[in-house]
């Protein structure tokens, strides 16, 4: 595995890679969910590039940019056997003085995560567009865990005619159902137990949908009530939405994205599932 810390180094190494090139952008503090994306990239491409960049522009002023978990040594050991190039830019390399161009996706960024985290998707869309231009992959791999992010990135690639394929892959979970996330490390043991409430609420929604429930409001109310039974949890939103437009549904007459954001103490967790 080679490492590049500057755009120039990344471009030079990219020139030596056999194609097709698969790319996995991350913020590091890797877990098996990230590695599942790298494994798929490895299986489908001749070369694999992974980036680790905690992107300051996608964090709000009161969010956890400063404290976001970082462990580069451990991350490098986890990637060593499967990655050809690891791209590790720092913030001034990605945002030099005078940086002033932003990618904004209208519409689907107004809702859900976009509503709770103003400016978040502008930061995500901008950094991903930059990374795609720097790495020039044939395929890029993202988790369904961040379903709205995946939808936003697909829209950027389509609207801006970027010549690559965006591939979304399933959420990896802990044995008790909690979606793997770098932020799970913030949870103390009691909060870690409480955090399973997101998965339990999504499972309840799936069960209810399987039994024929078509009323999205009743489903949202059921999920909300279940999460509210957990004293450690505070709901930000629960949603039953169209998976493409992310608009809330009234009647579930098509596959629906059930998603939620829940605070467990000072940690904000998100999770989702598609109700077929
Ligand atoms: P992050 O480092 O949190 O920015 O995540 C990097 C990529 O890994 C994103 O495409 C995420 O959607 C994906 N990812 C995060 N958690 C999981 C998970 N539990 N299973 C699968 N992919 C994930």
In this prediction the pTM is 0.98
Q: Are 192 and 199 in contact (CB under 8 A)?
A: no
CA of 213 to the centre of ligand 1 (A): 30
Q: Are 231 and 266 in contact (CB under 8 A)?
A: no
Q: Tell me the per-residue pLDDT of 53-87, one tens digit each, with 9 for 90 and over.
A: 999 999 999 999 999 999 999 999 999 999 999 99
Longest dimension (CA), the chain: 56
Q: How confident is the model at residue 168 (pLDDT cuts 50, 70, 90)?
A: very high
Q: What is the mean pLDDT of the chain?
A: 98
Q: Tell me the per-residue pLDDT of 212-264, one tens digit each, with 9 for 90 and over.
A: 999 999 999 999 999 999 999 999 999 999 999 999 999 999 999 999 999 99
Q: Are 200 and 177 in contact (CB under 8 A)?
A: yes
Q: Whose CA is nearest to atom 5 of ligand 1?
A: 26
Question: Domains, the chain, ranges and CATH?
Answer: 2-169 (3.40.50.620), 182-271 (3.30.1300.10)
- Structure-block tokens of residue 27: 């913020």
Q: Are 224 and 253 in contact (CB under 8 A)?
A: no
Q: Which of 29, 35, 37, 72 to mutate to test the pocket of ligand 1 (most atoms within 8 A of CB)?
A: 37
Burial code (b: 16+ CB inside 10 Å, e: under 16) for 166-202 equals bbbbebbbbeeebbbbbbbebbeeebbebbbbbbbbb
């Amino acid at each position: 595995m080679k490492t590049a810390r500057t755009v120039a180094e990344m471009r030079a190494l990219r020139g030596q890679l056999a194609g097709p090139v698969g790319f996995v952008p991350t913020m590091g503090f890797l877990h098996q969910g990230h590695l599942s994306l790298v494994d798929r990239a490895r299986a489908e491409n001749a070369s694999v590039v992974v980036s680790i960049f905690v992107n300051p522009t996608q964090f709000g002023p009161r969010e956890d940019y400063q404290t976001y978990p970082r462990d580069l040594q451990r991350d490098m050991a986890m990637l060593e056997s499967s990655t050809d190039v690891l791209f590790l830019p720092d913030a001034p390399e990605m945002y030099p003085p005078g940086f002033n161009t932003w990618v904004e996706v209208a519409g689907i960024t107004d809702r859900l995560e976009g509503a709770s985290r103003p400016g978040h998707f502008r930061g995500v869309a901008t950094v991903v567009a930059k990374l795609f231009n720097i790495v020039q992959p044939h395929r890029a791999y993202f988790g369904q865990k961040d379903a709205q992010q995946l939808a936003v990135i697909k829209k950027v690639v389509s609207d801006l005619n970027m010549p690559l394929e965006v591939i979304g892959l399933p959420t990896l979970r802990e044995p008790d159902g909690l979606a793997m996330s770098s932020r799970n490390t913030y949870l103390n043991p009691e909060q870690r137990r409480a955090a399973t409430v997101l998965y339990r609420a999504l499972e309840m929604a799936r069960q209810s949908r399987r039994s024929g429930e078509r009323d999205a409001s009743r489903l949202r109310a059921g999920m909300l009530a279940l999460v509210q039974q957990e004293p450690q949890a505070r709901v930000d939103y629960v949603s039953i939405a169209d998976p493409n437009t992310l608009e809330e549904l009234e009647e579930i007459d098509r596959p629906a994205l059930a998603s939620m954001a829940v605070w467990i103490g000072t940690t904000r967790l998100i999770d989702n599932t598609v109700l077929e």
